[in-house]
Structure 1
Amino acid sequence: MSTASPNIPQFAFDFDTLRRNMDAFQARFDAFIADDRKRILEDRNEFEKEITEAKEQEQQMSNQIEYYKEKEAELAQESARERQEVQETESSIAEFTRKKQDLTILRDAVVAQILETQSILDKKRAERSQDRAKFLAQSSLNAPELAFWEQNLGLRIEGFDDDQLKIVFTLISESAWSREYYAVMDLSDPDYEIRRCEPQLDKSVLDGMLTRLNESRDFGRFLKDVRNAFKESGL
């Protein structure tokens, strides 16, 4: 019995075509890998760029936040200063108002005092006018006596200043009959005063003469007292 060989199919391989196909596949695969690497590299570069930009934006935002924090602090300080200025201004206004009220009260008091002083001055002027009238009346009544004093005792009465008379005597000093002795009499107050005399008399003598004059209003006696005081002084 003869054994027959099985029928083995015979394949005809075209190795050249297969090689070309493999080469083409390898080329496409390499191109795919290269493109994928390129895409990955580009994506990584883009990602790194975005990360860098994000960090820059974050830094900018951080700088802006810090800037606005500083501005906020400055505004808070400015607001505090303004509130303090407002408080100081209100305090100054209140102090000014209080001082104004005090000045108003003081002004009213001063005005009242001025009016009172004016009333007193008016009263004193009236009294002084009455005294002048009395003095002139007495001078008129004693005209012969005054004429005698002027001719024989060297008396002369002059207006010296406002409300003042200058009483001048000569014929006192035997060594110098023309030498003038005088006293300046102040009539501005109800109580008369001697403001100046030449030669200077002792204060106690002047005070005594003025006391008698202000009590009696006797000018004739006063003139005699003044002349005698000059004569007795020996000056």
Structure 2
Amino acid sequence: MISYNDSPLTQLPQVSIPFDDLRRRMAEFSVKFDSFIERARKRVLEERNEYKARISEVHEEQRSTSAQVASLRSALSAHRNLVSREAAEKAEMNAQIDQLQTRHAAQQQTRDTLRQQIAATQSAIDHKLQAQREYARKLDGQARLNGPELLFWETYLGVRIEGAGDEGRIRVVYLFPPSSRKAKREATFELRVPDTTVGEYEVVYSRPRLDQDKVARVVRRLNETRQIGVLLKGMRGLFAEDME
């Protein structure tokens, strides 16, 4: 049988362990640890709540920012549309201004052209009036010279000069002696009188109808001499020849 009396284990000094103090300390540690855990838990809860609140604030800020961005985009789009519309209106106004300027320039050109035409027409009218006055003066002088001759033609040769219903024409009527077929024979022609001294006379009608080449030769002599007697004599000869 083994004896432990002489064993080193039995020879260790006896240690007095204060279990009560240890239990007290353990209890105090447990209280402190529980308090630490509770404080840590509260801090974690507070931090989590703060985090959630911060996250909510961030989300709210994001929503607000998104709303502001959408509003700014809408305002930018409206501004772009307004700028585009104003640009279109400006282009249209410029086009209308160009049209008005073109029309104004055309009207000015037309006005200048009309003024030139009016001035030219007025000048032509003045020249024509002057020529007509000169022609009337010459006709008046010629009438004084032709008066006795016309009276002779009317009295002794049966010639009558009358109006033809047109200011630019005169009618000349010849009365020929009666023949075996007709008791009274009459011939007539109408003469167009020029407006100026340089214009030409023209026989526009005759009854009975005469040879136009012969009439043209008589009128040509009239235009060359400007003597009415040449015409009356020549036309009477043509009518007399036609009535033979």
TM-score (norm 1): 0.65
Whether the aligned pair in 2 keeps the contact of 1:163 and 1:186 (CA below 8 Å) is yes
Alpha-carbon distance in structure 2 between the residues aligned to 1:133 and 1:49: 119
Aligned to 2:167: 162
Aligned to 2:154: 146
Whether the aligned pair in 2 keeps the contact of 1:135 and 1:219 (CA below 8 Å) is no
Deviates more, 1:124-133 or 1:33-42: 33-42
The counterpart of 2:237, out of the listed 207, 228, 233, is 228
The counterpart of 1:116, out of the listed 123, 128, 143, is 123
* Displacement after TM superposition at 1:38 (Å): 6.6
* Displacement after TM superposition at 1:215 (Å): 2.1
Whether the aligned pair in 2 keeps the contact of 1:193 and 1:210 (CA below 8 Å) is yes
> Runs of 5+ in structure 1 lacking a partner?
1-5
The counterpart of 1:64, out of the listed 72, 77, 100, is 72
CA spacing shift, 1:37–1:206, aligned 2, 3 Å: farther
Alpha-carbon distance in structure 2 between the residues aligned to 1:115 and 1:43: 102
* Displacement after TM superposition at 1:33 (Å): 3.2
1:47 aligns with 2:55: yes
Which amino acid is 1:220 matched to? Answer: G
RMSD: 4.8
Whether the aligned pair in 2 keeps the contact of 1:187 and 1:193 (CA below 8 Å) is yes
Between Structure 1 and Structure 2, whose CA radius of gyration is higher?
2
Alpha-carbon distance in structure 1 between the residues aligned to 2:99 and 2:194: 54
TM-score (norm 2): 0.63
Aligned to 2:3: none
Number of residues of Structure 1 aligned to a counterpart in Structure 2? 226
Which amino acid is 1:156 matched to? Answer: R
Whether the aligned pair in 2 keeps the contact of 1:201 and 1:233 (CA below 8 Å) is yes
The counterpart of 1:82, out of the listed 90, 94, 111, is 90
Deviations 1:136-183 (A, max 9, x none): 22342122332123xxx3x32112222421112344895453555332
> Runs of 5+ in structure 2 lacking a partner?
1-13
